[in-house]
């Protein structure tokens, strides 16, 4: 059988770009494969996706060399609208790929465009909704869906066209862990039951590695590794590029280094457990350890706060919370749990419907947002929602001028912030010309510039690749060591597991758990209620708890040490 997708020596340069985005890429995909495509931001993965359904060279001009064939059809000769029958593309932002007002009409959109007859269309729409589990929402308005539902809808509307290949470009970026897991289960089903070929770009490798059977790593427009997941993730080439590696793989490597004879390196908790089963000594359950937080001076106090939006949605329901000076806190919970609503109170963007919020002892209802902003720096999720100035320098100076600093102080602070985030070389550039990660750093600099006492970051890891996340983590550690109060709002479990902050777990406007990361992230019941999946280490260790292994360990090295200590062969 000929391969379903053939990419042959493709080199592509975007119009007005100096460097090619793809360099001599060759890749063949057989029908029924499930491929993970990964690599740092700007490595060319998205560009490659655009080649697969003819967006390149039809929608994007620029220079393309080489050939791409899908089911034998050359993408040069067949436009995307024609290739859409064979290759479905799903994008990162669910909102920017939904055109209709109701769910079932959206699923039908592609079929209507293809001119499919009504009876057949109805059958396919029903089937597609069934597969993604949205049948019960068929008449719902699309803008009332949650992010996860929207992304499933996007899949259904591609599915209805019955493509042979589905290409997804970071489909889970905006989703919380549970919704992401659900999405993967659907992809797995499509791959196994319906034999669909799936090509997936994804940063959540821990999750992806359970389902994929081949990994392609790109860097600088080149395919550098193309192998089975085990080979690909252990390859030194992959490691050198700086992409995330499944944590269980890292754990089994460290176990081997400690002399534990494992047959092979494991990729998932299940594989590792199978290896370790019956080979550990010790027994008896593990009783959770308790860490007490010492009280210090409070900087933020939330007292019996409830908040109801003007449309009647109760987003916060009786919140009590105290954050001390110098603490490092992560507020976690699924989308819609009330996390962002809560932090907006810290700077007075929202005022409680009931109860009081005190910042440094001052009731936020008594003062302006601008005066609170001096103490509490809030950096929003999407840097594009705030960048507007002609240059990076001006962008950073904006807030400083709003606060009325004199020009020489402004100049000094701008220099300091540029240096702090290592963006001095972009001083004169327009923020709009920078890459996503750089724009994020500019947004961060534009808030840190006035050195607020409290720094709040809303979903700082969304859309960030492994290296950028690592950089962010180091930066947060730096803030922490300087004694700055830092609060992050996130549903990125693995990121939090590595930072080990105090965690406040929220669901439906309430606080479910509050305590050190080790305790909260190993409290599987609370996590379940908050629709957060436990970190990989906890997944492994929990199953080993019959051997008396503590399951509140988040660090890979520590986990390896504990397991190795109980190994009896």
Partner 1 sequence: MSLFEGLRFSGGDTPIHRLDPRAKFVLTASIFTAAVLYFHLLPLLIIFLIQLPIVAAAKVWRGWLRTLRGGLYIAVLILVTNLISFYFYKGRVFTLEMVEYSLSMTLRFIVLVASFSLFFLTTSPDRLSLALEKLHVPYEFTFAFITAIRFVPVLAEEAQSIIDAQRARGLELERGGLLRRVRNYIPILLPLIVNSIRRSLELAEAMESRAFGAARERTNLYELEMGGLDYAVLMLSIALMAIAIYIRVFHPNLGVFFPSV
Q: Which is nearer to partner 1, 55 or 73 (CB)?
A: 55
Q: Which is nearer to partner 1, 445 or 560 (CB)?
A: 445
* CA angle centred on 457, ends 386 and 558, rounded to 5°: 145
For residue 325, count CB atoms less than 10 angstroms from its CB and return exposed for 0-12, middle for 13-18, buried for 19 or more: middle
Q: Whole-number minimum distance, CB 403 to partner 1, in Å?
A: 5
Q: Which is nearer to partner 1, 384 or 415 (CB)?
A: 384
DSSP, collapsed to helix, strand or coil, labels residue 141 as strand
Q: Which is nearer to partner 1, 50 or 69 (CB)?
A: 50
Q: Which is nearer to partner 1, 267 or 456 (CB)?
A: 456
Q: Whole-number minimum distance, CB 470 to partner 1, in Å?
A: 25
Q: Whole-number minimum distance, CB 215 to partner 1, in Å?
A: 24
* Cβ partners under 8 Å of residue 43, min gap 6: 218, 219, 220, 221, 241
Q: Which is nearer to partner 1, 91 or 286 (CB)?
A: 91
CA 426: distance to chain centroid?
26
Distance (Å) of CA 14 to CA 62, 96, 231, 548: 5, 22, 32, 57
Q: Whole-number minimum distance, CB 434 to partner 1, in Å?
A: 13
The dihedral sign for the CA sequence 224, 226, 227, 232: positive
Q: Which is nearer to partner 1, 52 or 272 (CB)?
A: 52
Q: Whole-number minimum distance, CB 425 to partner 1, in Å?
A: 22
Q: Please choose, from the candidates 414, 429, 419, 533, the residue with its C-alpha nearest in 3D space to the C-alpha of residue 475.
A: 419
CA dihedral of residues 202, 207, 208, 213 (deg, nearest 10): 160
Q: Whole-number minimum distance, CB 30 to partner 1, in Å?
A: 23
Q: Whole-number minimum distance, CB 504 to partner 1, in Å?
A: 20
Q: Whole-number minimum distance, CB 208 to partner 1, in Å?
A: 22
Q: Whole-number minimum distance, CB 265 to partner 1, in Å?
A: 37
DSSP, collapsed to helix, strand or coil, labels residue 219 as strand
Are 281 and 566 in contact, with CB atoms under 8 Å apart?
yes
Q: Which is nearer to partner 1, 115 or 285 (CB)?
A: 115
Tokens of 187: 């992809």
Q: Whole-number minimum distance, CB 87 to partner 1, in Å?
A: 8
If one counts every other C-beta atom within 10 angstroms of the C-beta of residue 289, the result is: 11
Torsion-angle region of residue 243: left (phi > 0), alpha (psi -120 to 50) or beta? beta
- Report the distance separating Cα 118 and Cα 419, nearest Å: 61
Are 105 and 128 in contact, with CB atoms under 8 Å apart?
no
Q: Which is nearer to partner 1, 84 or 323 (CB)?
A: 84
Own/partner pairs, 408-417, CB within 8 angstroms, 24+ separation: 413/449, 413/450, 413/451, 414/449, 416/449, 417/445, 417/446, 417/448, 417/449
Q: Which is nearer to partner 1, 379 or 554 (CB)?
A: 379
> What is the DSSP-derived secondary structure letter of residue 288?
P
> What is the DSSP-derived secondary structure letter of residue 462?
T
Q: Which is nearer to partner 1, 112 or 274 (CB)?
A: 112
Own/partner pairs, 479-482, CB within 8 angstroms, 24+ separation: 479/328, 479/455, 480/326, 480/328
Q: Whole-number minimum distance, CB 260 to partner 1, in Å?
A: 48
């Amino acid at each position: 059988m000929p391969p379903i997708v053939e990419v042959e020596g493709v080199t592509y340069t975007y119009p007005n770009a100096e460097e090619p985005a793809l360099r001599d890429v060759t890749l063949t995909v057989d029908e029924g494969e499930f491929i993970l495509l990964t690599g740092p931001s700007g490595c060319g993965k998205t560009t490659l996706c655009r080649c697969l359904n003819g967006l390149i060279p039809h929608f994007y001009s620029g220079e393309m060399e080489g050939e791409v064939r899908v089911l034998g059809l050359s993408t040069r000769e067949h436009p995307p609208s024609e290739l859409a029958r064979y290759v479905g593309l799903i994008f990162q932002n669910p909102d920017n790929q939904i055109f209709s007002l109701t769910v079932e009409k959206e699923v039908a959109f592609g079929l209507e465009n293809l001119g499919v007859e009504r009876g057949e269309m109805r059958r396919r729409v029903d089937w597609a909704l069934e597969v993604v589990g949205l049948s019960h929402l068929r008449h719902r308005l699309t803008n009332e869906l949650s992010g996860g539902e929207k992304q499933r809808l996007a899949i259904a509307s591609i599915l209805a066209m019955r493509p042979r290949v589905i290409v997804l470009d970071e489909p889970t970026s905006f989703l919380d862990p549970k919704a992401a897991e659900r999405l993967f289960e659907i992809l797995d089903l499509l791959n196994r039951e319906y034999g669909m070929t799936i090509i997936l770009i994804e940063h959540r490798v821990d999750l992806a590695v359970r389902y994929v059977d081949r990994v392609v790593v790109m860097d600088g427009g080149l395919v550098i590794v193309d192998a089975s997941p085990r080979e690909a993730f252990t390859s030194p080439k992959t490691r050198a590029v700086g992409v995330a590696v499944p944590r269980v793989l890292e754990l089994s490597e460290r176990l081997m280094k400690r002399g534990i004879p494992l047959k092979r390196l494991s990729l998932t908790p299940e594989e590792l457990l199978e290896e370790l089963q019956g080979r550990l000594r010790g027994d008896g359950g593990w009783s959770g350890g308790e860490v007490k937080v010492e009280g210090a001076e409070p900087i933020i106090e939330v007292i019996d706060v409830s908040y109801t939006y003007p449309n009647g949605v109760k987003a916060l329901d009786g919140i009590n919370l105290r954050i001390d000076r110098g603490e490092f806190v992560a507020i976690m919970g699924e989308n819609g749990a009330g996390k962002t609503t809560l932090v907006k109170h810290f700077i007075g963007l929202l005022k409680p419907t009931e109860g009081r919020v005190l910042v440094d002892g001052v009731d936020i209802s008594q003062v302006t947002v601008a005066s609170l902003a001096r103490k509490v720096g809030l950096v929003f999720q999407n840097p594009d929602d705030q960048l507007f100035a002609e240059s990076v320098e001006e962008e950073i100076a904006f807030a400083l001028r709003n606060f009325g600093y004199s020009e020489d102080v402004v100049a000094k602070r701008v220099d300091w912030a540029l240096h702090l985030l290592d963006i001095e070389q972009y001083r004169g550039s327009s923020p709009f010309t920078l890459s996503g990660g750089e724009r994020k750093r500019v947004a961060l600099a534009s808030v840190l510039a006035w050195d607020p006492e409290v720094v709040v970051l809303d979903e700082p890891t969304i859309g960030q690749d492994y290296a950028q996340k690592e950089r962010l983590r180091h930066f947060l550690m730096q803030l922490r060591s300087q004694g700055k109060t830092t609060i992050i709002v996130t549903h990125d479990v693995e990121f939090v597991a590595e930072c080990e902050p105090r965690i406040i777990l929220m669901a439906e406007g309430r606080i479910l758990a509050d305590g050190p990361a080790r305790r909260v992230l190993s409290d599987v019941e609370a996590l379940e209620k908050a629709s957060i999946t436990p970190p990989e280490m906890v997944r492994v260790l929990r199953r080993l708890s019959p051997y008396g292994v503590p399951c509140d360990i988040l660090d890979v090295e520590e986990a390896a040490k504990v397991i190795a200590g109980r190994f009896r062969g």
